[in-house]
Amino acid sequence: MPRGSKAKYTPKQRRKAEHIEESYEQRGLDPGEAEARAWATVNKQDGGGEQAGSGRRKAPQQKTAARKDSARRAAAARKGHPANRGRLTARRGRRASA
């Protein structure tokens, strides 16, 4: 698919971009810049094309939990803890060195 193609956007996203573009043109922007800003706005709000349907996005609670978990693991890694936090791996390491 060529770069800049809008084929993967839903009809709702296309309508939204059209309304945003018209708004920018009413404010005095040239049509090319208005179109570019309209699609940039749609991308920022909706996350790009082909987003409709069930199961496409994480629930806000899952996203928050994932971020917290990632931050916790990153902090542990900065302190020198191994990335793999499985107990079995840690036990094997102790036995091998004993």
Give pLDDT tens digits for 5-62: 788 888 889 999 999 999 999 999 999 999 999 999 998 888 777 655 555 667 777 8
The domain tally of the chain equals: 2
Task: Tell me the Cα Rg of the chain.
Answer: 23
Domain co-membership, 19 together with 42: yes
pLDDT at residue 6, rounded to an integer: 83
pLDDT at residue 37, rounded to an integer: 95
8 Å CB contact between 4 and 39? no
- Tell whether 31 is covered by a domain: yes
pLDDT at residue 63, rounded to an integer: 79
Q: Which domain holds residue 20?
A: 11-46
Distance in angstroms (rounded) separating the CA atoms of residues 89 and 18: 55
pLDDT at residue 22, rounded to an integer: 96
- Tell whether 32 is covered by a domain: yes
| Average pLDDT over every residue of 49-78 | 77
8 Å CB contact between 42 and 6? no
pLDDT at residue 53, rounded to an integer: 59
pLDDT at residue 18, rounded to an integer: 96
pTM of the predicted model as reported, rounded to 2 decimal places? 0.51
- Tell whether 19 is covered by a domain: yes
